[in-house]
Amino acid sequence: MTEQHQDERIRIREAMDRLLAGQPTVSNGSLTVTALAVEADVHRMALMKRHADLKNEFYERVRNETQQVPETEKRLRETVTKLRKTIANQKAEIDELRRQVTSLTLASAVLAQQQDSSAPPKSTPGNVILFHPPEH
DSSP single-letter state for residue 126: T
The residue type of 78 is: E
DSSP single-letter state for residue 24: -
CB 22 within 8 A of CB 67: no
What would the pLDDT profile of 25-79 be if each residue is shown by its tens digit? 999 988 889 999 999 999 999 989 999 999 999 988 988 888 777 777 888 889 9
What would the pLDDT profile of 81-109 be if each residue is shown by its tens digit? 999 999 999 999 999 999 999 999 999 98
CB 72 within 8 A of CB 33: yes
Could you please report the per-residue DSSP string of 30-87?
Answer: -SSHHHHHHHHT--HHHHHHTTHHHHHHHHHHHHHHH----HHHHHHHHHHHHHHHHH
**pTM, 2 dp:** 0.53
